[in-house]
Structure 1
């Protein structure tokens, strides 16, 4: 929790739907990302300590002692809850070199496999070891990690690969060079299944979008309400559009979020309140422009942004109005 909150504060300094009824599952099959990205209706499933971690990343509800079948069973339950409670069809999961090179990978694959068996799209994204590291610290370990992951999931059309989350330590040219090398090494993966992070904290995609070396890839944008103090939806939309430019057809907002445990009504005050106007802008713009988005976080105990909370052996929604607004952004 604290690592993520600190990161949002750091970014702030740097970057001056009726509720779903019943238990029906909403599963949408993978589609080619040609004219829009709104096939991605997703949530992040995050480590309670935060995905920035020097050891294994272990999403909320899993334990380092779990074996493959235990991870699969827990993940299957949570994925079905994401589908039934929210209508999600995508889950974004974190990896890092220790999580893939060490014994945890044998168990952790159960989460990916369960999501795929349940008809979900899976975005696998690489994290650095801390919020203070915006570059790949061990290129060999990072490359080996991706060789393992792509070797096992490169042939699955519902798996998408995000080489590095928030590459803020690189200049645009450096980041394009790293991504170009990734694309060359893993050329068997269709570019439409590679998600290139925007520069900085994924906070602008105009630079990577304009790069001819990255043509055909999807683009990842992060956007948070702590980055400005606007109170009008139009102000947030203008700022968001400036970060996307002409690349809406390739962009997925794969991190955005707002407090879900504080009782905010996200169906009101779209003009006049910071949190509600921000949240309305992201979801309205996503719907209008056909952009997919992946909410932060679908499940992360201790983070006020978490959309879900543990309710016995299942999951329940923290904020019905937040669910409604997210579903509106997904096109429901």
Structure 2
């Protein structure tokens, strides 16, 4: 944001009023810019089958730990082609952890990121705590710092790559988390703030403390909402719940996780449905559209394995094939239509 200073008459430029005005304007000029909206992010999460909270390298659904870089690239190209063809995405959210980046798997895993950016996709790299037993905290800060140094050194100059210091920092109080996020930003001064997503407090479901902390000005905010956070609501209740967690922070917030069952036959186009999931997804996508918010659905593929199923019942795409011959199919077109509705009229078709 560039705010020109008004011309000052020579005889009065040193007056207290003019000095105050110039000082205020100087602060505004120096303040990091804040995006007018986040609707430019239209995407999904590519996750590990079984979820990203693993105490080891992150092997995304469809990949194999024995894959080399070229194989990962070929598989990623196939997966992204499916996401683009079926969902018209322009953004992919990907996990990183210390075990991945500090191991030889990182050399191969980089193919997932490189494939995305070579296709012109935004890539959001978010840190998942190393194992589900870490309690929503970074259990090895030195390893976390080293991981982020490696990742930002490698991708900091790529304008399509965005960095999320931690996914769902629920083990920290709001004050602890904002302190930690501010320290991360100060430690990576070359990363533009508009390419940093700071998770809301708790399970990233409260954006307000991050939005209120001036040290975090200019960053984006990662925001999550699921039915299992809050239970049963009607449509109006879900609208209010979404807005309550968001506060006045919509211009900076990206809903990086939200989702509902996609293989249980629910009709998300039915505005008269009394089903909690249907009312939730309709409300959330309506509000995101109204507020010009971007989103990355959870999950595009991968995620928790639902009992009796081969993958996460929230998956908006089903992965088929083997080796590098991978294809994606859509289990619920009405769910995709709600995803597109949330992205607004500017979505890629």
Cα distance between partner residues in 2 of 1:291 and 1:269: 22
TM-score by structure 1 length?
0.88
* Partner residue of 2:261 out of 259, 262, 271: 259
CA contact (8 A) 2:98 2:130 kept: no
- 2:327 is the counterpart of 1:314: yes
Gaps of 5+ in 1: 1-31
- Measured after TM superposition, the shift of residue 271 of structure 1 is 5.5
2:242 — aligned with what? 240
- Measured after TM superposition, the shift of residue 278 of structure 1 is 0.2
Cα distance between partner residues in 2 of 1:48 and 1:196: 25
| Aligned residues between the structures | 301
1:117-128 equivalence runs, <5 A: 117-128=118-129
Q: Which has the larger radius of gyration?
A: 2
1:288-303 equivalence runs, <5 A: 288-300=290-302, 302-303=311-312
* Partner residue of 2:341 out of 319, 328, 331: 328
- Measured after TM superposition, the shift of residue 303 of structure 1 is 0.5
2:133 — aligned with what? 132
CA contact (8 A) 2:34 2:217 kept: no
- Measured after TM superposition, the shift of residue 131 of structure 1 is 2.8
CA contact (8 A) 1:233 1:270 kept: no
1:224 — aligned with what? 226
CA contact (8 A) 1:194 1:217 kept: yes
* Partner residue of 2:208 out of 206, 209, 213: 206
Cα distance between partner residues in 2 of 1:270 and 1:283: 16
- 2:82 is the counterpart of 1:76: no
- Measured after TM superposition, the shift of residue 33 of structure 1 is 6.0
CA contact (8 A) 1:233 1:271 kept: no
Moved more, 193-202 or 293-302: 293-302
Aligned CA-pair RMSD? 1.3
* Partner residue of 2:286 out of 268, 284, 287: 284
Cα distance between partner residues in 2 of 1:138 and 1:310: 34
Q: Which runs of 4+ in 1 moved over 6 A?
A: none
Q: Secondary structure at the match of 2:237?
A: helix
2:277 — aligned with what? 275
TM-score by structure 2 length?
0.84
- Measured after TM superposition, the shift of residue 229 of structure 1 is 3.7
- 2:114 is the counterpart of 1:101: no
- 2:173 is the counterpart of 1:171: yes
> What's the CA shift string for 1:263-289, capped at 9, x where partnerless?
111111455220100001111111110
CA contact (8 A) 1:197 1:221 kept: yes
